[in-house]
Amino acid sequence: MSAVTLVLATVVLGVGTYAFRVSGPLLRSRVTLSAEVERLMAVAAVVLLTALVATATLVQGHGFAGFARLVGVAVGGVLAWRRAPFVVVVVAAAGTTAVLRLLGVP
Amino acid sequence: MRSTWRTLQQRLGRELARDIALVCLADGIVGLSFGAITVGAGLPLWLPMLMSVVVFAGASQFLFVGIVAAGGNPVAAVAAGLLVNSRHLPFGFAVADLLSGGRGRWLAGSHVMIDESVAFALAQRGTGRSKAAFWACGTALFVCWNLGVLLGAFGGAAITDTDAFGLDAAFPAVLLALVLPSLRDPATRRAALVGAAVALATSPFLAAGLPVLLGLVGLLALRPHERRSPR
């Protein structure tokens, strides 16, 4: 693939992504939304992030991501639920997964 | 550098500053691998750096490079990347309030809108703290991500397999920890769980990015009065 094509593709992806990002703030700077719509937007962000957590934990490509990652995230989730410090949650999740992989768990 | 860190600690509180620093470190390492993998796949040295500045969205960058390196069509690579990044549209509506304060602020703030900065903002109480968390996380990640990619591109194959460190588990764990406080609200929790179920059920069949977006179906699980009531 030529350099020009790569630059062009990168710029198109960048501009498109920025268009997604800027639409909300752009509209918001012009119109005021009702309290109901604002509430829906806030919940929508939580719904999207939760869906992202689910897929990032369980899915790789179109298949199952493996038990090592699932168990690691689960350990982190339980710790977070019990209000452990954020650092503990993240390090425990990554550490658990790394150790499981070291032991040969896929 | 040290004085910047001290100012950040004062504005955000020691704990939040430390949490953001940890996420920056983890994402910096993933950036390192992105740079190394891209150059290792035979793509030009400038590509990972250009992408990380212009696109600044990790998952879509890996996907794009994966498709292009495998000899795929560039149009398909761009389309796949855009699909993965489409969730930034609803994110933008959710955090728009935090970007108020002049044209320059929302133009710049939009570019550092990523999963982590949105999640950190949502996890804070009060608009002031949310705003500070969003900007601190967004700008710090932009710097760390690009620094990581730069080092990875030049450094080569030092770190290509971040899975060995379990960093693929760190990303969802970070978002989960940040989203949990919001899930204590029953209506939000119901919508989120329905959304997650829909995303998981459609993942085997749909292109990356679409399942998460379809998760918005979960909003239908809100009862009419729950759409109005403040949390």
DSSP string, A49-60: HHHHHHHHHHEE
Each residue's pLDDT expressed in tens, for chain A with a length of 106 residues: 789 999 999 999 999 999 999 999 999 888 888 888 888 999 999 999 999 999 999 999 899 999 999 999 999 999 999 999 999 999 999 999 999 999 999 9
Domain span at A24: 1-31
Model pLDDT for residues B64-123, shown as the tens digit of each residue: 999 999 999 999 999 999 999 999 999 999 999 899 888 889 999 999 999 999 999 999
Tell me the mean pLDDT in the region B144-153.
Answer: 95
Q: What average pLDDT does chain B have? A: 91
Nearest CB neighbour to A47, from listed B15, B95, B195:
B195
Q: Is residue A43 part of a domain?
A: no
The residue among B100, B203, B222, B231 with the most chain A CBs within 10 A of its CB, best to mutate, is B203
Question: Rounded to an integer, what distance in angstroms lies between the CA atom of residue B97 and that of residue B99?
Answer: 5
pTM value is: 0.92
CA distance B176 to chain A (A): 6
Residue A77 placed within a domain: no
Q: What is residue B155's predicted lDDT score, i.e. its pLDDT?
A: 85
With a pLDDT cut of 90, the percent of chain B lying above it is 77
Would you say B196 and B72 are in contact if contact means Cβ atoms under 8 Å apart? no
Angle B115-122/B167-183 helices, nearest 10 degrees? Answer: 30
Query: Residue A52's closest CA among B87, B64, B112?
Result: B87
Spell out which residues of chain B touch residue A18, defining contact as CB-CB under 8 Å.
110-111
Tens digits of residue pLDDT in B86-99: 999 999 999 998 99
DSSP A30-79: T-PPPHHHHHHHHHHHHHHHHHHHHHHHHEETTEE--HHHHHHHHHHHHH
Query: How many angstroms away from the CA of B185 is the closest CA of chain A?
Result: 10
| B172 with A73: Cβ contact below 8 A | yes
Chain B residues in contact with A99 (beta carbon < 8 A): 166
What long-range pairs does B43-49 form, CB within 8 A, spacing at least 24? Answer: B43/A6, B43/B68, B43/B69, B44/A3, B44/A6, B45/B153, B45/B154, B47/A6, B47/A10, B48/B149, B48/B152, B48/B153, B49/B146, B49/B149, B49/B150, B49/B153
Q: Is the pLDDT of residue B231 over 50?
A: no
> What's the pLDDT score for residue B135?
95
A74-to-A71, B176, B177, B190 alpha-carbon distances in Å: 5, 10, 11, 19
Calculate ∠ Cα A51-A57-A63, nearest 5°: 100
- Asked, for residue A9, whether it belongs to a domain, the answer is yes
Q: Is residue A57 part of a domain?
A: no
Task: Specify the number of domains making up chain A.
Answer: 1
Lowest mean pLDDT among A30-34, B81-85, B137-141, B159-163: B159-163
Q: Given this model, what pLDDT does residue B229 score? A: 55
Name the band, by pLDDT with cuts 50, 70 and 90, for residue B164: confident
Q: How far is A106 from chain B (nearest CA, A)?
A: 11
Mutation target vs B (from A1, A8, A10; most B CBs, 10 A cutoff): A10
* A83 at interface of B, judged by CB pairs closer than 8 A: no
